[in-house]
Amino acid sequence: MRSVTKRFGGVLALSDVSFDVPEGQVLGVIGPNGAGKTTLLNCISGVNRLDGGEVHFAGQRISGRRPYEVARLGIGRTFQIVKPFASMTVRENAAVGAVFGSAQARMATAAAFRYADEVLDLVGLAPKRSLPVGSLTVPDRKRLEVARALCTKPRLLLLDEVMSGLNAVEVDEALEMVRRVHSSGVTIMLIEHVMRVIVGVCAQAVVLHLGRVLVAGQPAEVLRDRRVVEAYLGERYASRHAVGGSG
Amino acid sequence: MAIETAEPATPALGSFAVATAAARRRERILYIVAAIVLAVLIVIPLSSLDAVQAAGLPLVMDRYWFRVTTLIAMFVIIAGAWNIIGGLTGYPAFGNVVFFGIGAYTAGTLITRASLPYATAVVGAVVVCAAVACVIGLPLLRLRGHYFAVASLGVAVATGEVINNVQFFGGASGIFMPIIRSDLLFYYLMLGGAVLTVGTTWLVLHSRFGFGLIAIREDEVAAGVIGVNTTRYKVAAYMLSAALTGLAGAIYAQWNVFIDQSTAFNLDVSIDSILMVLIGGIGTIFGPVIGAAALEFLIQTFAGSGELAVWTQIGLGVLLTAAVIFLPRGIVDFFGGRSSFTREYVRRTLRETGV
């Protein structure tokens, strides 16, 4: 990802954002509200068009391509505000992902339903597979987002705040799910507010602030960085508590 | 677990709830009933043949009933076609009558100006309608919801006005075609079109194409990021809808012998067909069939002239309002669907429709 820029009218949502997502890793993107995290995912997945810069994936330029093309190349994503297909059951939602999805997915319906069952097992939704999505709880809907994205057989999975709104126990369960997904061989880039998640599963972390990359590096170091604390909690808090770091 | 299931290998999507064993049994019964009704509809009109009459068998269908059943079959085609773009894809095309009109005028023009045989003219009409839908669909389908509805309506009105003012298409005096005198021919043509429409809907709902359309209806952005080429799918659904509507128009043109703007681009056709889908069951296979039969039967039975027609209109309006409030998923929901008509059902639907 090189010099990615996105404007909404006069607002510069992303400005000159550059970083890499190493294959096989879990990369965390954090930042305060309005930092441009979700816009970044929209720019990668083709939902938003870039105003500048380029995004490359597996040697191909994907910026400027439409969402379905990006999906075919093997990038799956979830939405922070979940977007289930409301008239379908849990199982059908997941299966649709496998019917379409990346070049490796695109299964016939019967195979898609079988694969959906495997994935629902992985994310822990198997017992609820026959329910309409309307009857799912918030954590289960977030799991379903992950399941549908996983059914597209992505090489890179973009997770947009799948842990927000969950309580401590549910976050633990979700963390366990992310680890399982990662160990099944999927590269993950996740956006998160919950610091515990970043430290818990990410090998690398990138901090966005006001549309720019503030710091990037090891999660534990990043979180101690003075600039990060300032961005989240304000300058006064940072100087009073004198949290070391490189700032 | 509240609901016990054992899903069939390739279930159709878009059932609003879970396919229980009982619901699947009811769905099977629906298919059997449909097959029986179709068989009866194929056999009964033969009683009007001279040979059958000569053998002393009773005349089951007189000319009035030929007209009513042919009209119902026509509306099964139009409503079923609307269901593909409006019900499955979620794009409320208010001006689908434009394809009825284009189909009718293409057939009429090919017959009178190019002296082509009727069958060729019908095929030509279908092809032209699909092509037009492709061209206007690309810009129109970028709009959503009400914007799309109003834009498609605008196209229908504008096209009708243009054709009304072009002498090549007969201008304001319309097109007269050579008469083909056969109630049976048009009855079977419309019936065949209706079967084709229902069969097409079944195929769509059981294919990857249908999965994509329903995903688009439920959430277009989500459909895009799981790999659905939303533009291509929407345009294809619109073309399919247009082709079937055009087929109905082309059959109608020759059946009616005469077409002009008010018969071929009649907005009532659009509105009636949408109501039929809503009453019967939107997004379902047999919903448009049941809706078309029920509504067109009522219209034909009660639409007299003068004061009676006014009261009929009012009565139909009340009926439709009641149907939309009490049966948001249509009549078919009680048969092939997942519900039975109980007090609990009424309570739930009232809550859903917000009354």
Q: Higher confidence at residue B328 or residue A31?
A: A31
8 A C-beta contact, residue B78 and residue B296: no
Nearest CA in chain B to A93: B215
- What pLDDT sits at residue A53? 85
Looking at residue B38, what is its pLDDT? 95
Are residues A232 and A165 located together in one domain of the fold?
Answer: yes
Same domain (yes/no): A61, A160: yes
pLDDT tens digits for B203-254?
999 999 999 999 999 999 999 999 999 999 999 999 999 999 999 999 999 9
Q: Assess whether A168 and A70 both reside in one domain.
A: yes
Q: Are residues A55 and A108 in the same domain?
A: no
Q: What is chain B's mean pLDDT, rounded?
A: 87
Q: Using an 8 Å Cβ cutoff, are B195 and B276 in contact?
A: no
* Residue of A68, A86, A99 lying closest to B229 (CB–CB): A68
Do A180 and A66 belong to one domain?
Answer: yes
Domain count, chain A: 2
Chains A & B: contacts with CB separation below 8 Å:
109
| pLDDT reported for residue A16 | 85
Q: Give B5's contacts in chain A (Cβ within 8 Å).
A: 130
The alpha-carbon gap from B281 to the nearest alpha carbon of chain A, in Å, equals 14
Please tell me whether residues A190 and A224 are part of one structural domain.
Answer: yes
pLDDT value of residue B339: 60
Residue B216 is predicted with a pLDDT of 96
- State the complex-level ipTM: 0.90
A100 neighbourhood in chain B, CB within 8 Å: 208, 211-212, 215, 226-228
Q: Please give the residue of chain A at the shortest CA–CA distance from B5.
A: A130
**B227–A109 C-beta distance less than 8 A:** no
Q: Is the pLDDT at B4 greater than 90, yes or no?
A: no
Residues 6+ apart with CB under 8 A from B129: B99, B102, B103, B106, B242, B243, B245, B246, B247, B249
Give the other-Cβ count within 10 Å of B142's Cβ.
Answer: 12
Neighbouring residues of A212: CB distance < 8 A, sequence distance ≥ 6: A15, A16, A17
Q: Are residues A125 and A150 in the same domain?
A: yes
Tell whether A161 and A237 lie within a shared domain.
yes
pLDDT in tens, B37-61: 999 999 888 888 877 777 777 777 7
By the 10 Å C-beta count (0-12 exposed, 13-18 middle, 19+ buried), B180 is classed as: exposed
pLDDT-derived band at B340 (thresholds 50, 70, 90) equals low
- Distance separating the N- and C-terminal Cα atoms of chain B: 31
Spell out, as residue ranges, where chain A has pLDDT lower than 50.
243-247
Residue A234's region, left for phi above 0, alpha for psi from -120 to 50, else beta, is left
Domain final residue, candidates A126, A154, A182: A154
Amino acid in position B321 = T
The confidence score (pLDDT) of residue B171 equals 87
> CB A67 to CB B10 under 8 A?
no
Beta-carbon separation of B9 and A113 below 8 A: yes
Higher pLDDT, B28 or B291: B291
Q: Please give the residue that has the higher pLDDT: either B349 or B92.
A: B92
CATH of the domain at A24: 3.40.50.300
Mean pLDDT of B163-184: 91
* pLDDT(B193) > 90: yes
CA-based radius of gyration for chain B? 21
Residue bearing the bigger pLDDT, B30 or A196: B30
Per-domain boundaries in chain B: 21-265+274-353
Within 10 Å of residue B227's Cβ, how many Cβ atoms?
31
Q: Tens digits of per-residue pLDDT, B95-120? A: 999 999 999 999 999 999 999 999 99
Query: What pLDDT is stored for residue B2 in this prediction?
Result: 38
Question: What pLDDT does residue B285 have?
Answer: 93
Say yes or no: A11 and A91 in one domain.
Answer: no
**Which residue range forms the structural domain that includes residue A86?**
82-154
Q: How far apart are CA B249 and CA B157, in angstroms?
A: 16
Query: Using CA atoms, how far apart are residues A208 and A4, in angstroms rounded to an integer?
Result: 12
Give the pLDDT score at B179.
93
Inspect the interface and report whether the beta carbons of B224 and A67 lie closer than 8 Å.
yes
pLDDT of residue B63: 84
- Candidates B1, B218, B225; nearest CB to A77: B225
In chain B, how many H helices and how many E strands?
15, 2
Say whether A130 and B222 touch across the interface (CB within 8 A): no
Question: Could you tell me if A39 and A58 lie in one domain?
Answer: yes
State the architecture of B21-265+274-353 in CATH terms.
Answer: Orthogonal Bundle (1.10)
Chain A CB contacts of B227 below 8 Å: 68, 71-72, 100-102, 105-106, 152
CA distance A53 to A185: 29
Same domain, A114 and A14: no
Structure tokens at B119: 């069958």
Q: Do B125 and B110 contact (CB within 8 A), yes or no?
A: yes
Domain final residue pick, A154, A179, A195:
A154
* Average pLDDT of span B284-306: 87
Given a contact cutoff of 8 angstroms between Cβ atoms, the answer to whether A74 and A105 are in contact is no
B230–A113: do the CB atoms touch at under 8 Å?
no
Closest CA to B278 of B267, B294, B298, B266: B294
What is the model's pLDDT at position B17?
39
Residues of A with CB under 8 A from a CB of B: 45-47, 66-68, 70-72, 76-77, 79, 83-89, 91-92, 96-97, 99-102, 105-106, 109-110, 113, 127, 130-132, 148-149, 151-152
Each residue of A1-17: pLDDT tens digit?
555 666 655 677 888 88
| Amino acid A242: pLDDT | 54
**How far is the C-alpha of B31 from the C-alpha of B26, rounded, in Å?**
9
A214 with A166, same domain: the answer is: yes
Shortest distance, CA A149 to any CA of chain B (angstroms):
7
Segment holding B198, helix H or strand E: helix B183-205
